[in-house]
Amino acid sequence: MPQLWQSRLFSIASQVAKRSCLVFESKCIILLLPSRISGPSKAGSQHGNIFPASIADDCCRWVTDIRVGHLYVSAKFEIDSRSIKEDLEYKMKKIAFATAAVTLLLTGAASAADLAARPYTKAPVAMASVYNWGGFYIGVNGGGGWADKCWDIYNNLGAVVAPAFREGCHTASGATVGGQVGYRWQASNWVFGLEAQGNWADFTGSNSSLFFLGATNRTKVDAFGLFTGQVGYSWNNVLWYVKGGAAVARDKYEGVITGTGIVFDRASETRWGAVVGTGIEFGFTPNWSLALEYDHLFMGSRDVSFYNAIAPVGAFSRGETIRQDIDMVTARINYRFGGPIVAKY
C-alpha cells in the first residue's frame, strides 16, 4: 500500500513540474520545480527536497514567495490547505489595503489634475482721473477796464470843419461786472467752446476841448457784450485758452460847461467791433472753476452826431469822429453742469 501512494505522489509531482502552475483558491501557484522530482531522502527523514514556489495574484501581480516542501512521511504527501488558505487570506488583505491606498492617492491626484487651472488675469491698468472741461457752464465775472477815446470835430452847427480838428483824447476807466454762459467740448487735452458774455460797466473819462474854450468832452461806457469762440489746452484741471469774436459797446458822450457841470449837448451810440482775449482757468472742485481773463476790444472810429441839451433842445449841435479801444481784466467763476471727471488709461 505505501508503495502505491508513493508512486502516485511522484506522478503528481512530475505533472506539476511540467505545468509549473497549480490553481488554488483562484490563485496561480507558480512552482519552480525541476522536470523530475527525486525520490525520498533517507528513511525517516521528515523533509525531502525543498523547492520555491510563487503565488501570483491575477489582478495586481503581487507576488509572495513561499517555500513548499514535499514530504515523504510514510509515503504520504500532506499539504496543510488550511495554513495556505489563511496565509493567502492575510496576504490578500494586505494587497487589498495597499490597492485601496494607491487607488485613493491616484483618485486624489486625478481630481486635483481635473481642477481647472487658475486663470491668469492681467492686472488692471491704473486709471488716472482727468478733469473734464466739457459741458454747459454759467458764471459771473467782475473786474475793471479802460477805454481810450480821441475826438475830432468835423462839423459845428451845420458848418463843415475841414480838415477835422483834433479836440483831444482821454481814457475812460472804471469797474465792470457781468455774467457769461457757454458750452465747451473736450478732445484729449484740447478744449473748444462758445460763449456769450454781458457786462454792466462804469468806464468814465474826460478832457478839456481844444476847439471850444471852457468846454469839456466827457465819455462813459456803460455796457458791453462779447460773443466769442474759444480754443484751449488743458493740463488736467488747469486750462489755458484764447478767445475771439464780436464785441458790442454802448457809449454815452456829453459836452459840459467846465466848472458848472451843465451839459450843453450829448450823444449816444451802440458800437460793434471785434474782441480777442486770453485766460487761464483753474478747476478747484469737480464742477467749479476760477479764471482770470484779459480782453481787448477793437471798436474803431465812428462819426457821432451831438444834439443840444439846452435851448433849442434837440437841435443839431456838432459832429465828431470818435475813435476808441477798450481793454479789461476780469476774474471769473463758473459752474459747469454734468459729469466733470473722466477716466484716462
Instruction: Enumerate the β-bridge partners of residue 205.
Output: 219
- Nearest of 142, 28, 9 to residue 72 by alpha carbon: 9
Amino acid identity for residue 252 in this structure: K
Q: Is 38 exposed, middle or buried (0-12, 13-18, 19+ CB in 10 A)?
A: exposed
C-alpha–C-alpha distance, residues 136 and 178, integer Å: 18
Q: How far apart are CA 184 and CA 206, in angstroms?
A: 40
The Cα–Cα gap between 151 and 319 comes to 10
**Which residue do the cell numbers 450823444 mark?**
267
* Cell numbers representing residue 194 in the block: 462758445
Torsion of CA 22, 28, 29, 35, to 10 degrees: 50
Residue 330, judged by CB atoms within 10 A of its CB (0-12, 13-18, 19+), counts as buried
Residue 277 to residues 160, 165, 292, 297: CA-CA distances in angstroms? 39, 33, 11, 9
pLDDT confidence of residue 130: 84
Letter for the amino acid at 233? Y
Tens digit of pLDDT at every position of the chain (345 positions): 455 545 554 455 455 444 444 444 444 444 444 444 444 444 444 444 444 444 444 444 433 443 444 433 443 444 455 556 666 666 677 666 656 555 555 555 445 555 555 665 665 555 567 899 999 999 999 999 999 999 999 999 999 999 999 999 999 999 999 999 999 999 999 999 999 999 999 999 999 999 999 999 999 999 999 999 999 999 999 999 999 999 999 999 999 999 999 999 999 999 999 999 999 999 999 999 999 999 999 999 999 999 999 999 999 999 999 999 999 999 999 999 975 444 444
Could you report the per-residue pLDDT of 4-43, keeping only the tens digit for each? 545 554 455 455 444 444 444 444 444 444 444 444 444 4
Q: What is the pLDDT of residue 340?
A: 47
**E strand residue ranges, the chain:** 21-24, 27-31, 50-56, 63-69, 128-131, 135-156, 159-187, 190-208, 215-235, 238-257, 262-283, 288-308, 316-336, 341-344
Q: What is the pLDDT of residue 100?
A: 59
Q: What are phi and psi of 82, to 5 degrees?
A: -65, -45
- pLDDT tens for each residue of 185-234: 999 999 999 999 999 999 999 999 999 999 999 999 999 999 999 999 99
Which residue type is seen at 101?
Answer: A
Measured between alpha carbons, how far is 325 from 170 in angstroms, rounded to an integer?
11
65 has which bridge partners? 54
Quote the pTM value: 0.63
Angstrom distances, CA of residue 101 to CA of 7, 61, 63, 89, 105: 48, 16, 18, 18, 6
Domain ranges of the chain: 2-90, 128-344
Burial letters 48-77, b for 16+ CB under 10 A, else e: beebebebebeeeeeebeeebebebeeeeb
Q: Quote the DSSP letter at residue 309.
A: S
Q: Are 150 and 173 in contact (CB under 8 A)?
A: no
pLDDT recorded at residue 8: 55
User: Does the domain made of 128-344 have the CATH classification 1.10.3720.10?
Assistant: no
Q: What's the grid cell of residue 34?
A: 525541476
